[in-house]
Structure 1
């Protein structure tokens, strides 16, 4: 992702929004690499709510702050 904006000399942001319960549990057990699927994995643990609402709110606030006159 970062190569495209760098090539065109434009700013960018990469957001990761989602739940952390699975990660925190695996971190305590020392099994993050084995038990936490990465993005684009068919096993990626998406929990739609509240991650979607929080993500939309955060990204909207960021866009409005960036685009404000």
Structure 2
């Protein structure tokens, strides 16, 4: 991702908190676009990418 000098795992969730896509963002990559529309994004260490599966429901607190 632009301005980020290290890789990140990026997980996109829809409005129902279901995983719609997941990818590794390379350092200085200009843009990442999910396969489907997303409402939320989770960014974490690349080793955590396999902890998320497409279609999985993620529970988290907002605010």
Question: TM-score, structure 1 length as denominator?
Answer: 0.23
Higher strand share: 2
Give 1 or 2 for the bigger CA radius of gyration.
Answer: 1
Using CA pairs under 8 Å that are at least 6 residues apart, name the structure with larger relative contact order, 1 or 2.
2
